[in-house]
Amino acid sequence: MEQVFFTGLQWSDAWFLVEAAQKSLWISVLSISVGTVLGIIFGWVLHEGRWIAAGTLGTVLDAFRSIPLIIQLVLFFNFFPIIGFPLDPFQAGTIVLALYTSALVANVARGGIESVGEPMQRAARSLGMSYWQNLRHVVWPIGLRSVLPSWIGVVLGVVKDSALVSVLGYVELLRASQILITRTQEPFAILAIVGVFYFLISFPIGRIGKRLEGKWSS
C-alpha cells in the first residue's frame, strides 16, 4: 500500500490556523502592552537624562533596536538555560519582543514628551501644578496625541515581527503555515491565507489609530 505523505487542505486546518492566529495575536498584545509601558518609562528616563542611567539605558536600548530581532530571539532563548532558567518559546519570545518594543517606544515616548515644550510646561507649573500633575494632565495628553501615529507604526511592526518567534518553535501563524505547507505542498494558498490573517489583525489597529487622530485633531 502506498503511504500518503502529502494530503490536501482540510477544514480542520482552518482551525489550526485560527488557533495559530490567536497565538500570534496574544503574543503581540502581551509584548506590545508590556513593551509600551516599559517604553514610556524608559522614554521618560531618557528625557530627564540627568542620571548616568540615561546614558547606559540609551546604549542598551540602541542595542535592542539595532540587533536583528531574530538574533536576539535565538541568543536569549539559548542563554537562559545556561544560567539555569530554561524558558519555553512563548516566554522567551514574549520577553524579547517586549524589550524590543520598549526600545522602539522609548524613543517615541521621548519625542512625545519633548514635543510639549518648555513654555507649555512652565505655564502648567505656574498654575501650581506639581511635576507629576504637569506630566499627567499636560505632557501626557498632548504628547500622546503628537506621537500616536508613530506608536501605531511601532505596533504594526511588532505584530509582523512576532512571526520571528517561529524560529524558537512557537506555533504562531508563520510556524503553523510552514507545518501546513510541508504537509500539503500548497504554499501559495496557505501563505495567502496567512497573509489575510495578518491583515485582519493589523487593519483594525490602523483604523482605530486613524479614527483617534481624526477625533483629536478636530
Partner 1 sequence: MIKIRGLKKRFGTNEVLKGIDLDVKKGEVLSVIGASGSGKSTLLYCINGLEPIQDGYIEVDDTRVHDRNTNVNLLRQKLGMVFQQWNSFPHLTALENVALAPRIVRKKSKREAQEIAKKQLSHVGLGDKLDAYPNSLSGGQQQRLAIARALAMEPEYMLFDEATSALDPELVGEVLDTMRLLADEGMTMICVTHEMGFAKDVSDRVAYFHQGILEEVGPPSQIFGNPTSEHTKKFLSKTR
The residues of the shown chain that bind partner 1, judged by CB under 8 A, are: 119-120, 122-130, 133, 137-138, 141-142, 145, 216
Identify whether the C-beta of residue 191 lies closer than 8 Å to the C-beta of residue 200: no
Q: Considering the complex, state which of residue 17 and residue 139 has its C-beta at the smaller distance from partner 1.
A: 139
Grid cell in block for residue 84: 539555569
Count of C-beta atoms within a 10 Å radius of residue 52: 7
- CB contact set of 128 (below 8 Å; sequence gap of 6+): none
Among candidate residues 210, 109, 97, the one with its CA nearest the CA of residue 152:
210
Minimum distance, C-beta of residue 112 to partner 1, in the bound complex (Å): 13
33: helix, coil or strand?
helix
Identify whether the C-beta of residue 31 lies closer than 8 Å to the C-beta of residue 183: no
Count of C-beta atoms within a 10 Å radius of residue 204: 10
**Residue 20 parent element (H or E):** helix 11-48
Minimum distance, C-beta of residue 114 to partner 1, in the bound complex (Å): 16
Q: Considering the complex, state which of residue 137 and residue 207 has its C-beta at the smaller distance from partner 1.
A: 137
Minimum distance, C-beta of residue 141 to partner 1, in the bound complex (Å): 5
Minimum distance, C-beta of residue 136 to partner 1, in the bound complex (Å): 8
Q: Considering the complex, state which of residue 2 and residue 118 has its C-beta at the smaller distance from partner 1.
A: 118
**Amino acid, single-letter form, for residue 67:** I
Q: Considering the complex, state which of residue 137 and residue 210 has its C-beta at the smaller distance from partner 1.
A: 137
Q: Considering the complex, state which of residue 108 and residue 138 has its C-beta at the smaller distance from partner 1.
A: 138
Minimum distance, C-beta of residue 147 to partner 1, in the bound complex (Å): 13
